[in-house]
Amino acid sequence: MDRPTYLMTDPACFDVSYRINPWMDPKAWSAADAAAARDGSAALRAALEATGANVEIIGAVKGLPDLVFPANAAVVLDGRVLMARFRHPERQGEEPVFRAVFQKLKSRGLVRDIVDFPEGVFHEGAGDAIWDADRRLFWCGFGPRSSRSAIPVIRKTFGHETVALELATERFYHLDTCFCPLAGGKVLYYPPAFTPDALATLRAHIPDSQRIEATDEEAAAFCVNAVNLDARIVMAKAPESLRTKLRARGYSLTEVDLSPFIRSGGASYCMTLRLDRTSVPAAQLHAAE
């Protein structure tokens, strides 16, 4: 694949009909929210395509509203797909749907092989295993959704270092809601989402000059849940404070109104799964061309 390639889901069946995190309130959901979700998903796709990315769209499935968050479907690196095992029954129906999707992608040569976690080990995909291209390692969240026992499986499957970070609150239940590696080695993160031990680990790996702390307001706007490609960041509507911080570091922002999805606890990173991510450093790829 020559262009960055992302998986997204048709939002036709998206709603907030159950509650498995503190952001979700089924009683507050309306038909107007469903219409806004369709617009938001289309705008996110357009924003990604404007960066030069290719977007693969999978179909909606009635009764599986959170299928719109394919980041949770699997960990994907170097063409290998490590399938998720969801903790909550409400999302377990997504597993066979995503497996069928990955089988089709494999038949087209977009992924190479598909592997599974052991029975009884919960892990919710790229939401809790975030590849850091600059450090060539996985940051692995655990606690609310993913099991700590999943982390050695990730290390063995992909052959790369993993750094475990325990999440401290159900409000930021996946690592991607509170932690975002950015091109150039910087990291945007929300400190209150982590246990003291996790914060110490994070700060030991990332120098102060490369850490960008999100405020309560910025984290609640789901701006840490962002898609980064080189100096470009695609995220939910951001407070001016975050725009200032990121632009000062040399990043350009594309903001999309994703408020209906935030009401389910997700935004741009959750709504996408990058399929072409590679562990080979960019310099080596260019040298081979």
Domain boundaries, the chain: 5-288
Is-catalytic flag, 205?
A: no
Q: Give the DSSP per-residue string, 69-104.
A: -GGGTEEEETTEEEE-B-SSHHHHTHHHHHHHHHHH
Which region holds residue 159: left if phi is over 0, alpha if psi is between -120 and 50, else beta? left
How does DSSP classify residue 215? P
Which of 140, 178, 180, 270 is catalytic? The answer is 270
CATH number of 5-288: 3.75.10.10
Is-catalytic flag, 13?
A: no
What's the confidence (pLDDT) of residue 285? 42
What's the confidence (pLDDT) of residue 135? 97
Judge if pTM exceeds 0.75.
Answer: yes
What's the confidence (pLDDT) of residue 281? 74
Low-confidence stretches of the chain (pLDDT < 50) are: 1, 285-289
What's the confidence (pLDDT) of residue 282? 58
What's the confidence (pLDDT) of residue 284? 56
What's the confidence (pLDDT) of residue 164? 98
Q: What CA–CA distance (Å, rounded) separates 243 from 211?
A: 15
What's the confidence (pLDDT) of residue 289? 41
Which of 13, 123, 140, 174 is catalytic? The answer is 174
- Give which of 45, 105, 49, 50 is closest to 73, Cα–Cα: 105
